[in-house]
Amino acid sequence: MRTTRYGLLIGMLLLLVPAVMFAGAQREEAAGQSGPDKISLSVYHYLDQTDKTTAPNFQELVDAFSKQYPDIELTFEFGYGESFHNKLQTLAMSGQLPDIILLYPGKRTAQVTSAGLVKDLRPWLQGHEDEFASMAMQPQGKNGEIWELPEDISITSIMYTNNKLLEQLGLTLPKTMDELLAQGEIIRKAGLIPLAMANKDDWAMQSCFAGMIAERTCGLQWFDAALAGKASFSEPRFVRSLEIIKQLHDENMFSPGVNQLAYGQGLDDFVNERAVYLIDGGWTVNQLVGELTDSQKAYVTLESFPDITNQAGESGSTSATAGQGFGMNAKLDEKQAEAAWKWIWFYSGPEGSAIRQRHGRLPAYNLDTPKGADPMIQKLIQYAAKAPMGYVLDAVIGAEPIGVFNNNLQQMMFGNKTPQQVADELETMVDEIDRGN
């Protein structure tokens, strides 16, 4: 009897072992660790999760990646606006960077890219360089390093135009800024906004307007000299670009209360036909695809800001840069790095680029215009093909000087600083911080 009881007990235990093992496996799977080959990576991404267009589009891309690579688990943390950059700087200084980080090609995230905190992507990218727009493959480090794989070509200054409203007002697309200023009174008398913009977050005026205007007043050759310390941002030609912003503001060409309007309000005014023009970046097409009606898409066009008096830059020019993209933490081991590259390549390579293109982005990866593409996507591609491209200020000037400059533009429009004072302060900070003098 004793032997029988022991036998039964042992049998019951043996039956329990597979069940316990199965339950343990289920717990591991639920925790994102279903086996030794599962890799979990943390990701810090720039994304406004309240954006009802961009956030779902990004999730579509993440879902497609997860389906293709079920062995890689990505845990996302999101930031937006200056809070993203502030936290990124804190993470960099504390040595707690995530495994994968959204980075910029210029000096905007130099606290990470110039500090040896991320890997050079060239070993993984080798052989694929010609598949991208040449602008996207410009060296990002002193020795030709590529710290992040650009997701798109970011055109930051487009004058979206409602041609139906122009026609109703008896106006035509202005060829010069003087013609544009003359339209202002007619547009305002009709209860409309001439140039819709929203600059509460203080980056928009700099990124979507100031760089473009500075290229017009200065020309790219002068810009290169200023960045190298052979010319000064205090010079009259750069001051003139700031005077133009002040003039447009003082003559009520921008949205009323432009510096109190949260980003997105300008787009809302334009979509609802309360504004004749909208100054914004090419990424705005992403929203216009979903928010404009079919009839609106027929008469909304993408134009460049008109020429200015004594223009040094090219007619019809815009500001553009290779866009941001993902890079990987320098501390990743070989296996983690290979997994991180799969996400980076999926996101900025042919698959992710095709998804973003369908939603109105201009990928850095060379793709044909998709058949049946939305009219606004077609118009963005056509605009990019013809517009001369100058610098975006925050792509060539360091984060600290550009942060002060953004705020100073607001102060200038409020009347608290003169254009010359804003230019002088920018020159001082660029000389001390960027040029190291």
Cβ–Cβ under 8 Å, residues 435 and 396: no
Q: Which ranges in 38-120 belong to alpha helices (H)?
A: 54-68, 81-94, 110-113
Residue 31 has pLDDT above 90, yes or no: no
Q: What band does 13 get if pLDDT is binned at 50, 70 and 90?
A: very low
Q: Which residues in 331-355 are b (16+ Cβ under 10 Å) and which e?
A: ebeeebbebbbbbbbbbbbebbbbb
Q: How long a stretch of residues is the chain?
A: 437
pLDDT at 155: 94
User: What is the H or E stretch that residue 335 is in?
Assistant: helix 334-348
Cβ–Cβ under 8 Å, residues 44 and 91: yes
Cβ–Cβ under 8 Å, residues 207 and 201: no
Cβ–Cβ under 8 Å, residues 337 and 360: no
Q: How confident is the model over 292-347, as pLDDT tens digits?
A: 999 999 999 999 999 999 999 999 999 998 889 999 999 999 999 999 999 999 99
Q: Specify the higher pLDDT residue, 25 or 80.
A: 80
Domain boundaries, the chain: 39-154+321-376, 155-320+390-434
| Ramachandran angles phi, psi of 172, nearest 5° | -130, 165
Task: Provide the 10 A C-beta neighbour count for residue 51.
Answer: 15
Confirm whether 39-154+321-376 and 155-320+390-434 share one CATH topology. yes
Q: Which two tokens stand for residue 12?
A: 């019951």
Q: Which two tokens stand for residue 300?
A: 């909304």
Q: How confident is the model over 36-48, as pLDDT tens digits?
A: 678 999 999 999 8
Task: Give the pLDDT mean for 51-69.
Answer: 92
Residue 3 has pLDDT above 90, yes or no: no
Task: Give the pLDDT mean for 338-359.
Answer: 94
Task: Give the pLDDT mean for 40-67.
Answer: 92
Cβ–Cβ under 8 Å, residues 203 and 408: no
Task: Give the pLDDT mean for 108-133.
Answer: 92
Q: Specify the higher pLDDT residue, 34 or 96.
A: 96
Residue 239 has pLDDT above 60, yes or no: yes
Superfamily of domain 39-154+321-376: Periplasmic binding protein-like II (3.40.190.10)
Q: What band does 51 get if pLDDT is binned at 50, 70 and 90?
A: confident
pLDDT at 36: 63
Q: What band does 21 get if pLDDT is binned at 50, 70 and 90?
A: very low
Q: Which two tokens stand for residue 435?
A: 């040029």
Q: How confident is the model over 121-137, as pLDDT tens digits?
A: 999 999 999 999 888 99
Q: Specify the higher pLDDT residue, 79 or 51.
A: 79
**pLDDT, mean over the chain:** 90
Q: How confident is the model over 381-391, as pLDDT tens digits?
A: 899 989 999 99
Q: Which two tokens stand for residue 141?
A: 């480090």
pLDDT at 35: 54
Cβ–Cβ under 8 Å, residues 152 and 392: no
SS3 at position 15: helix
CATH number of 155-320+390-434: 3.40.190.10
Residue 416 has pLDDT above 60, yes or no: yes
User: What is the H or E stretch that residue 265 is in?
Assistant: helix 265-271
Percent of the chain with pLDDT over 70: 92
